[in-house]
Amino acid sequence: MAKKVSFNKDDTRQHIILLLKYISEGIFEKENILAMSLLCAVAGESIFLLGPPGTAKSLVARRLKLVFKEAKSFEYLMSRFSTPDEIFGPVSISKLKNEDKYERITDGYLPNCTVVFLDEIWKAGPAIQNALLTVINERIYKNGSQTLSLPMKALIAASNELPAENEGLEALWDRFLVRMVSNCISDERTFFKMIRQDRVPEVVIPDELLITDDIFASWQSAIAHITISDETCTIVANIRKLLKEEEKKQKCTTTLDFYVSDRRWKKLFHLMRTSAWLNGRVSIDETDCILLIHCLWNKEEFIAQTIECVMKAFTLHIEQRITKLHTTIDKTIKERSANLPVGKMIEADSFNTYVVERYFYYVLKDYPKGKCLFAKTDFNHLSIGKDTSGIIYMDSNIQNWIIHAIYMGTPFNSKLGSSGKVEKVSLRKCKDGIVVNGTPYAFLRKASGNNANLSNNLFEDEKEPKVNTAFQQLQVELSEISNIFNALSARIEECTNLFVSDDDKKLISQQIKATGKLLNELYH
């Protein structure tokens, strides 16, 4: 008998954490499959497991059944000779004889069960496949003249192969929203831990943790009110675009290779809503989009390409802005240089007598904490005799301290504050530099005197207002891109989504890192 567990019943996330802890006991390297199966069950969706025999696929279904109160389960190994009687129940002879009704006895069969596991599903005959279409999608089964509303929470199907082409299995394949690969244990230490295990332990989940019909219904009601963030819509729009491009790139003979139906997208958003709710949030965020890694591929040979499309989608809009800004900077520099007198062509970072770094920053001389940059456009907001509020923080992308003369407040402060390296400072102008918290610091000057005729502040130069305005706009754009990237990067870095595995997170982190390099190159 399981020990009683004390937890806040209103804390859905803690509830799920405890359930996952119980059902994962004694099962190795299948934690993410178990988590995704539980997510599917709460979302009312079905999951397909691709993998060789002996990789604990059926055990996933047995453990999932344990989380529901008074749940019943049904398991069946399909073959070419399987009949509907074996899945949906035998025909009632007495009703056929006495009442002239063709009805099945469903007790103990699929229509009467909470969790269903169908192994080697693609070997089922057409009669079973057709019946499964409405069973999976609408959760109904037509039994003679009756239409039964099924109690089924989740259907888990498994096979060591994908459905064969041109055999009419496309509709059934599309019903499985989540598709995961179940492999043998890869880690050597974990493998021998499994070998030394006497037997898979019996798991008994405390009654207070079991998902009752009332709890399930209340969760469904709450999930329907989960909002969809703009960031999520941007990522999904990017995925749709990249999948179409990949389809053309691969010169696919059929559009089904990278096809995702509107119905499927509708269900995917419901799955992400469910993930958000079970993680204790009221809105879908970027971490829920990581789940799409396991939902969009159609063919084994295109799994890698489909996953890559999902990865790229997280930063596609950022990279497009980086590319556009890079082009605009080059164009603006050329325009600036073209307006200079003959023989006076200068480098882009030499527009004034001070050293200008990363296009938009002066360098403070002898700053004690390390290299420190001051935003040029903020200089006009300072006065000589009066202090102005500002902030100083460590930019982790370039490993430099940055000073802004304008305190931006939330959300800027909240994004930086998590690192513990941001603080408010008082600022004012002084000759050839600024005063930070009462200490004057000069701006680093160029060694050459060739720029003496140029204004000390590029943005105060009245001779070329169009170019100066353009550079101001570029700085604003660069700042916006950096803020969007930093927010996304922080969200992924701090990801605590219960349904995202470490391997999934690594894939996204690699994409974030690659985009970060592009952004860093822009600064240089």
Q: What is the 3-state secondary structure (H, E, C) of 45-68?
A: CCEEEECCCCCCHHHHHHHHHCCE
Mean pLDDT for the stretch of residues 488-503 = 93
240 band by pLDDT with thresholds 50, 70 and 90: very high
Joined tokens for residue 26: 């004694």
348 band by pLDDT with thresholds 50, 70 and 90: very low
Per-residue pLDDT tens for 395-442? 877 888 999 876 444 433 433 433 446 788 899 988 788 999 989 999
CA 437 to CA 497: how far, in whole Å?
A: 42
Per-residue pLDDT tens for 474-494? 778 888 898 999 999 999 999
What is the gyration radius of the CA atoms in the chain, in angstroms?
Answer: 31
- The sign of the torsion formed by the CA atoms of 321, 322, 327, 332 equals positive
CA 513 to CA 507: how far, in whole Å?
A: 10
Please give the pLDDT value at position 418.
Answer: 38
Helices (H), 24-169: 31-43, 57-65, 84-88, 93-98, 126-138
Which residue has tokens 């691969």? Answer: 250
